[in-house]
């Protein structure tokens, strides 16, 4: 039998490997700039032509290379960054695989000039398609300059897949943007077709973000940080009304390396879940810092993916850190508004017309701990039962201290339109509240509180309701029984399909006691395909939706005030549990603008 296995010549092996490391001009830019950063550069200039297809030149003021290193830097597996397996475990540099330069050189024409500070003269190396054609002494400034021409010129299949110049340019810009965000201490200059596209000077991170995203966009971010023994997280989160339709503006850095990690991205998304409109994604910039031994960055040659030793803990850590930050901030989705629309709800409430109460209390009272909150739903049950005006008297006196005696709403100036929305004048405009969504939010948080505290609030029914169910529904009741009891339902099964309800949660409207269970289960079933949701979460959502007052229900003044009081006692008053906005603010400045007023 004749031999069929060949060892590939190094040059060909490099070309094949190049396909994984260098997919497009932007990957070459990334690798070259990362090398400059690893070499301790403080200033890096990137010059490209034709979206990097014609030329990519990276110039740094890093430590440079001695002639011997310059001669082998383009060999495969040549690296100064690790020398043993142990080093790989504790990697702190961006590069370590020793294949970027070899890959780039195998598919382009490369010229390198480099000099170390201690040397009088520099070194020049020229390579074409992986073949060294020149090594010589050459005058050079301290640092390294690498020019890459005609990338993919000898791999026509790959070249064919390149996108047009604009697209490739955009990819390169993205790479530079990520580096600019993660290294504010680095001066970065980017020139494309002789035009200076960006020049980021050294700056503190907040200033760098302004330079990268502009004043307006960076103003819509708030910073946060959280730390445990093993991992630290810090960064900037976008306000919910700043969310995007795609995931493009999500910046995740692990130990200052830009990475893509679906788990962590999902954790952030999850934390925002109830704050975002459907189909939009949060803007965020996150820096995770973790002991390099607890993460593997050597998953793929592009080093974009990483593996954590404990993915689940990371997920939970990020989720809770982001969620905590979001609840601590006042987040009003100022849908479709401009001008001072981002002014927070605290300001808005403080200036509710007619309000004279203490400013400080008005600003903070709804943030008081749950024990001091108005019992959700009680107001509505109270109003409908007795017909009395109940603002204030639904609140047990022991809980009164932290709630201003005087309602922050001027009763006479609140009104309802189309039996659907509540209009609340505020000093700098108008706040419009969706009554159903608002009540949903109130009940939802109430149910969550019952789940976590174990203290249920239930109303015993004088006349128990007997419901005949299909076997499927009866089985569901059986399965959900423990959680439903925690919510305040009192249910007994009789035979296989007979369900007797003799107690329902306080939040159930008078008259709805007999139908609420079936209504809630119907919705629960409908949303069953949403596998992400825990059964409890789905129960809370289904119940709050079905128990909440509907659009179309007329409300009197007292009911509206009570609802608003309860809404602003919730943790996140601005969106309903399904992600729809609860409040829309119409700023006076917006009205002035539309009416062409200048003052």
| CB closer to ligand ADP, 95 vs 238 | 95
What is the Cα–Cα distance from 143 to 73, expressed in whole angstroms? 15
What is the Cα–Cα distance from 32 to 96, expressed in whole angstroms? 13
Q: How far is CA 185 from CA 6, 104, 196, 236, 511, in A?
A: 49, 27, 20, 18, 65
**In the block, which residue shows the tokens 């952030």?**
268
**Adjacency order of strands within the sheet including 187-192:** 131-138, 122-128, 109-115, 143-149, 55-60, 43-49, 187-192, 195-200
Interaction between residue 144 and Mg ion (CB under 5 A): no
| 144 binding partner (options ligand ADP, Mg ion, none; Cβ < 5 to 8 Å by kind) | ligand ADP
DSSP state, 581?
B
| CB closer to ligand ADP, 98 vs 346 | 98
Interaction between residue 375 and Mg ion (CB under 5 A): no
H or E stretch covering 144: strand 143-149
Nearest residue to 110 (alpha-carbon basis) of 74, 139, 76:
74
Where would I find the H helices in 423-528?
A: 435-453, 471-487, 516-526
Q: How far is CA 497 from CA 411, 476, 481, 492, in A?
A: 49, 11, 14, 11
Cβ 36 to ligand ADP, closest distance in Å?
Answer: 4
Q: How far is CA 555 from CA 304, 564, 569, in A?
A: 55, 12, 20
| CB closer to Mg ion, 35 vs 255 | 35
Interaction between residue 301 and Mg ion (CB under 5 A): no
| 464 binding partner (options ligand ADP, Mg ion, none; Cβ < 5 to 8 Å by kind) | none
| CB closer to Mg ion, 37 vs 569 | 37
Cβ 33 to Mg ion, closest distance in Å?
Answer: 10
What is the Cα–Cα distance from 279 to 529, expressed in whole angstroms? 17
What is the Cα–Cα distance from 38 to 97, expressed in whole angstroms? 13
Cβ 72 to ligand ADP, closest distance in Å?
Answer: 8
Judged by CB under 5 A, the stretch of 98-106, 391-399, 423-431, 484-492 that binds Mg ion is 98-106
What is the Cα–Cα distance from 439 to 445, expressed in whole angstroms? 10
Interaction between residue 45 and Mg ion (CB under 5 A): no
| 208 binding partner (options ligand ADP, Mg ion, none; Cβ < 5 to 8 Å by kind) | none
How many Cβ atoms sit within 10 Å of the Cβ of residue 3?
Answer: 5
| 404 binding partner (options ligand ADP, Mg ion, none; Cβ < 5 to 8 Å by kind) | none
Cβ 163 to ligand ADP, closest distance in Å?
Answer: 25
| CB closer to ligand ADP, 46 vs 548 | 46
| 334 binding partner (options ligand ADP, Mg ion, none; Cβ < 5 to 8 Å by kind) | none
| CB closer to ligand ADP, 69 vs 592 | 69
| CB closer to Mg ion, 69 vs 344 | 69
Q: What is the CA radius of gyration of the chain?
A: 31
What is the Cα–Cα distance from 324 to 520, expressed in whole angstroms? 29
Q: Minimal CB distance to Mg ion: which residue?
A: 95
- Chain positions contacting ligand ADP, by CB under 6 A: 31, 35-36, 39, 60, 62-65, 73, 78-81, 95-102, 144
| 374 binding partner (options Mg ion, ligand ADP, none; Cβ < 5 to 8 Å by kind) | none
DSSP state, 7?
P
| CB closer to Mg ion, 73 vs 491 | 73
Cβ 38 to ligand ADP, closest distance in Å?
Answer: 6
Q: Which residues lie closer than 8 Å to 177 by C-beta, 6 or more apart?
A: 212
| 96 binding partner (options Mg ion, ligand ADP, none; Cβ < 5 to 8 Å by kind) | ligand ADP
| 73 binding partner (options Mg ion, ligand ADP, none; Cβ < 5 to 8 Å by kind) | ligand ADP
| CB closer to ligand ADP, 71 vs 523 | 71
Cβ 568 to ligand ADP, closest distance in Å?
Answer: 54
**Adjacency order of strands within the sheet including 429-434:** 415-417, 421-426, 429-434, 583-587
The secondary structure of 220-243 as a DSSP string is TEEEEEEE-SSEEEEEEEE-GGG-
Written as six digits, the tokens of 503 are: 């107690």
What is the Cα–Cα distance from 123 to 135, expressed in whole angstroms? 7
User: What is the rounded end-to-end Cα distance, in angstroms, of the chain?
Assistant: 93
Cβ 130 to Mg ion, closest distance in Å?
Answer: 17
Q: Are 104 and 147 in contact (CB under 8 A)?
A: no
Interaction between residue 429 and Mg ion (CB under 5 A): no
Cβ 104 to ligand ADP, closest distance in Å?
Answer: 8
Residue 200 burial class via C-beta count within 10 angstroms: exposed 0-12, middle 13-18, buried 19 and up: buried
**In the block, which residue shows the tokens 């169910």?**
469
Judged by CB under 5 A, the stretch of 33-41, 414-422, 475-483, 568-576 that binds Mg ion is 33-41
Interaction between residue 95 and Mg ion (CB under 5 A): yes
| 122 binding partner (options ligand ADP, Mg ion, none; Cβ < 5 to 8 Å by kind) | none
| CB closer to Mg ion, 74 vs 308 | 74
User: What 3-state DSSP class applies to 147?
Assistant: strand
Interaction between residue 505 and Mg ion (CB under 5 A): no
Interaction between residue 62 and Mg ion (CB under 5 A): no
Among 100, 383, 438, 572, binds Mg ion (CB under 5 A): 100
| 78 binding partner (options Mg ion, ligand ADP, none; Cβ < 5 to 8 Å by kind) | ligand ADP
Judged by CB under 5 A, the stretch of 93-101, 158-166, 239-247, 474-482 that binds Mg ion is 93-101
| CB closer to ligand ADP, 74 vs 281 | 74
Interaction between residue 37 and Mg ion (CB under 5 A): no
Interaction between residue 146 and Mg ion (CB under 5 A): no
| CB closer to Mg ion, 100 vs 322 | 100
Q: Minimal CB distance to ligand ADP: which residue?
A: 95
User: What 3-state DSSP class applies to 415?
Assistant: strand
Interaction between residue 280 and Mg ion (CB under 5 A): no
Q: Are 331 and 239 in contact (CB under 8 A)?
A: yes
| 379 binding partner (options Mg ion, ligand ADP, none; Cβ < 5 to 8 Å by kind) | none
Interaction between residue 382 and Mg ion (CB under 5 A): no
Cβ 22 to ligand ADP, closest distance in Å?
Answer: 11
Binding site for Mg ion (CB under 5 A): 35, 95, 100
């Amino acid at each position: 039998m004749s031999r069929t296995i060949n060892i590939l010549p190094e040059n060909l092996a490099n070309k094949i490997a190049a396909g994984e490391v260098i997919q497009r001009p932007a990957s070459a830019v990334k690798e070259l700039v990362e090398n400059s950063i690893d070499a301790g550069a403080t200033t890096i200039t990137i010059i490209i032509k034709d979206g990097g297809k014609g030329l990519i030149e990276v110039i740094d003021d890093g430590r440079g290379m001695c002639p011997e290193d310059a001669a082998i830097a383009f060999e495969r597996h040549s690296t100064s960054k690790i020398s043993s397996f142990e080093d790989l475990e504790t990697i702190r540099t961006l590069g370590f695989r020793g294949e970027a330069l070899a890959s780039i050189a195998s598919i382009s024409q490369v010229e390198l000039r480099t000099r170390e500070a201690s040397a009088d003269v520099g070194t020049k190396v020229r390579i074409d398609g992986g073949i060294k054609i020149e090594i010589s002494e050459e005058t050079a400034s301290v640092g390294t300059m690498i020019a890459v021409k005609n990338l993919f010129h000898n791999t026509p299949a790959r070249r064919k897949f390149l996108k047009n110049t604009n697209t490739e340019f955009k990819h390169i810009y993205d790479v530079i943007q990520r580096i600019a965000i993660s290294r504010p201490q680095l001066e970065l200059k980017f020139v494309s077709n002789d035009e200076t596209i960006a020049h980021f000077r050294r700056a503190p991170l907040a200033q760098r973000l302004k330079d990268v995203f502009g004043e307006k966009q960076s103003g819509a971010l708030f910073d946060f940080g959280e730390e445990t023994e093993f991992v630290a997280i810090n960064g900037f989160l976008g306000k919910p009304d700043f969310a995007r339709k795609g995931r493009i503006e999500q910046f995740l850095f692990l130990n200052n390396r830009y990475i893509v990690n679906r788990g962590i991205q999902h954790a952030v998304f999850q934390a925002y879940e109830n704050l975002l409109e459907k189909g939009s994604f949060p803007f965020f910039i996150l820096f995770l810092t973790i002991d390099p031994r607890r993460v593997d960055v050597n998953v793929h040659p592009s080093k974009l993916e990483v593996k954590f030793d404990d993915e689940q803990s990371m997920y939970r850590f990020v989720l809770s850190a982001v969620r905590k930050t979001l609840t601590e901030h006042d987040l009003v989705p100022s849908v479709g508004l401009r001008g001072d629309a981002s002014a927070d709800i605290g300001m808005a409430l403080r200036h509710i017309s007619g309000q004279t109460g203490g400013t400080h209390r008005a600003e903070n009272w709804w943030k008081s701990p749950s024990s001091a909150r108005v019992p959700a739903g009680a107001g509505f049950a109270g109003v409908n039962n007795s017909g009395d005006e109940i603002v204030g008297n639904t609140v047990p006196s022991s809980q009164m201290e932290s709630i201003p005696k005087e309602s922050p709403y001027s009763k006479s100036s609140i009104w309802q339109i189309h039996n659907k929305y509540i209009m609340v004048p505020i000093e700098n405009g108008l706040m419009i509240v969706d009554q159903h969504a608002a009540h949903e939010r109130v009940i939802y948080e109430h149910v969550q509180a019952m789940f976590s505290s174990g203290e249920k609030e239930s109303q015993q029914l004088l006349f128990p309701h007997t419901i005949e169910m299909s076997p499927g529904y009866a089985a569901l009741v059986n399965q959900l029984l423990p959680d439903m009891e925690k919510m305040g339902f009192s249910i007994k099964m009789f035979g296989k399909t007979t369900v007797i309800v003799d107690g329902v949660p306080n939040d159930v409207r008078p008259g709805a006691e007999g139908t609420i269970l079936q209504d809630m289960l119907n919705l629960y079933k409908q949303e069953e395909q949403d596998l992400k949701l825990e059964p409890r979460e789905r129960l809370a959502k289904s119940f709050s939706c079905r128990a909440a007052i509907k659009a179309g229900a007329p409300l009197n003044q007292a009911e509206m005030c009570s609802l608003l009081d309860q809404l602003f006692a919730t943790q996140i008053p601005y969106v309903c549990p399904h992600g729809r906005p609860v409040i829309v603010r119409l700023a006076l400045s917006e009205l002035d603008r539309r009416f062409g007023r200048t003052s």
